[in-house]
Amino acid sequence: MITGIKFKVNDSLYSRDPQDTDLGKRILNSSIILIDEIGLESFTFKKLATKIQSTEASVYRYFDNKHQLLLFLTSWYWQWVQYLISIHTMNVDDPIKRMKIIIKSVINATSENALTEYINENLLHNIIINEGSKAYHTHDVDEENKHGIFSSYKELAEVIAQAILAINADFPYPHSLASNLLEMANNQIYFAKHLPRLTDIKVPKGDLSQLEEMIEYFVFRLIK
């Protein structure tokens, strides 16, 4: 287990980098717990400030608003997944094996050991499942995209797209399949939990093996 890793996230994702200070780390730690608990809509900086025994004004010094905080968390998450993929595929040459590791990493990111003390990756994965798509479904996407806000997600998609092409260089839709893999993985977990009619898998006690099997089925049937 490596601790104390700090990801370099885009400047536009914060006012002051929360990874640099004690208060910043408490903001990250507690906001993840609180958003998971009450949902993004009910989450406010005031409630967060109370929870960490600080003040609203202090939280605002780190993030302009809760949308920026969500962007930070999602960006951090996707960087983390990319990091996991890179270490797990480091010595793997077979493209099929590489793809299986990618799928495993995307799905089971959560069951990895903790990378930092101030981010609970399990809860963060829940937040990505529940609220992740709200990060880019905003009226200001184009503006935010210009500032590179979504680059960690796009980079991860690119890594997956290249892995797809390594298996079948003629596959016509590598980027669409990559983004769909990422979206589908989280969506199907959400459906299994809340709208089971929309899926065929189950996630008994958080066991994601059925999802992994299904995603493999989809991906390899498409690209081979």
Nearer to a second copy by Cβ, of 121 and 131: the residue is: 131
Which residue among 96, 115, 166, 214 contacts a second copy (CB under 8 A)? 214
Scanning residues 164 to 183, which ones bind a second copy (CB under 8 A)?
Answer: 172-176, 178-180, 183
Residue 200 interacts with a second copy (CB under 8 A)?
Answer: yes
Q: How far is CA 9 from CA 5, 17, 129, 197, in A?
A: 12, 9, 21, 38
Residues of this chain that bind DNA (CB under 7 A): 16, 21-24, 42, 44-47, 53-58, 60-61, 64-66
Nearer to DNA by Cβ, of 63 and 77: the residue is: 63
Chain residues that interact with a second copy, rule: CB under 8 A: 38-39, 41-42, 130-131, 133-134, 136-139, 141-142, 145, 150, 153-154, 157-158, 172-176, 178-180, 183-184, 187-188, 190-191, 194-195, 197-201, 214, 217-218, 221-222
